[in-house]
Structure 1
Amino acid sequence: MDFFFEDLPTTSQSTPNSDHGESQSTEDIDYDSSRGKSSSLSLSMTKIQEQQTSSSIDEISRRVQDLVEKVNDSRTSDQKVMDGFQDKLVEKVSEMCQQMKEHMYTVYEKNSNDMQVKLQEVSEVLESCTKLNQELLEASQALTGLREALAISQSSEP
């Protein structure tokens, strides 16, 4: 937000008062020479005070304008710093996300290899179980055949 005080009217500008200007008659000037000296001295002092007040106000206005410009410059600088920080932060977050993805894929690959080894072991165990089951069935059939043979032979002997 920029503030500019240059275009503002100043209230300290002096304007000649028509009562003290050229409308004075020669009678007023001749009336009292000591009063005239005092009056012109008072008028000179008033003008000096008005000029000093005017220059003081102008100086304050200039200082205020300088301060406003410094604040605006500082804000612009702050915005640049924040923009740079945001850019770096976005860059770092993107970089970290990429690293996490790569690590995740590495873990996936390792887990896949481990699972493949385990699946191979399970497959071998299942194959072994199938063979054992087949052998048990054959043994059971052999025992059944043997029992039948024994039962026949015991029934044929008196």
Structure 2
Amino acid sequence: MADSETDRREVREGPITATNAKADWLGPSSDKTSSRPSSPLLPNSASDAASTSSLSDGKSSSYFATLEASVDGLQRRAQSLIDKINEGRSSDQDMMKSFNTSLSMKVTELSQCLEERMYQMYEQNNTLLQARLQEFSQVVERIRQLQSELKHVCQTVATVYKDL
């Protein structure tokens, strides 16, 4: 449970943003221009080279601007998804807190019901035990009376036997 709390804190304290997640695969920035190797089919005149270079710079800067916009869009989308994930985690945490609270209340309620039922059973058992103890006391008293009578009978028989 502590690991999941740590994970949640990491996401909240340092979420991934578009600014700190730039990819290295983009290569050099659009400030640099790529040099094209000269082709033997192209003329080597200075004016042709200058016009080709400016045309190439225009295309590459346009290409890199489009690429940069696409990357920025992807980063915004990724940040949006991360924000949704964080919102979902927050919602899950709230749901679990609510679940734990309601579960605790139910467990407490059931525990109290069980305790009340247990005391009812104690009362029923006590009533039965009291009745049986009362019967037992009466039986023991009757046994004492019978024992006393038997002892008296034995003494009488012993006396009669002596007299014979």
TM-score (norm 2): 0.74
Gaps of 5+ in 2: 1-9, 36-44
Q: Note the C-alpha offset of 1:42.
A: 2.1
Equivalent AA in structure 2 for residue 8 of structure 1:
N
User: Match for residue 107 of structure 2?
Assistant: 93
Paired positions, count: 138
Q: Is the 8 A contact 2:18 2:78 kept in 1?
A: no
3-state secondary structure, aligned to 2:111? helix
Q: What is the one-letter code of the residue matched to 1:109?
A: E
Task: Report what 1:8 is aligned to.
Answer: 20
Gaps of 5+ in 1: 20-29, 152-158
- How far apart in 2 are the matches of 1:92 and 1:72? 30
Letter in 1 for 2:105: E
What displacement does 1:97 show? 1.2
Could you tell which deviates more after superposition, 73-82 or 140-149?
140-149
Quote the RMSD (CA, aligned, Å).
Answer: 2.3
Kindly state the Cα deviation for residue 36 of structure 1 after the two structures are TM-superposed: 4.2
Task: Tell me the SS of whatever aligns to 1:14.
Answer: coil
Q: SS at the partner of 2:155?
A: helix
Deviations 1:21-69 (A, max 9, x none): xxxxxxxxx952x554443322221111011011011001101111111
Equivalence for 1:52:
66
SS of aligned partner of 2:20: coil
Question: 5 Å matches for 1:59-78?
Answer: 59-78=73-92
Q: How far 1:147 moved relative to its partner?
A: 1.8
Alpha-carbon distance between aligned partners in 1 of 2:46 and 2:89, rounded to the nearest angstrom: 65
Contact 1:5 1:61 in 2 (8 A): yes
Greater Rg, structure 1 or structure 2? 1
The answer for the alignment partner of 2:6 in structure 1 is none
Q: Secondary structure at the match of 1:4?
A: coil
Which residue number in structure 1 is paired with residue 116 of structure 2?
A: 102
Q: Percent identity?
A: 30
Equivalent residue letter for 2:150: L
Q: State the Cα distance separating 1:5 from its structure 2 match.
A: 2.1
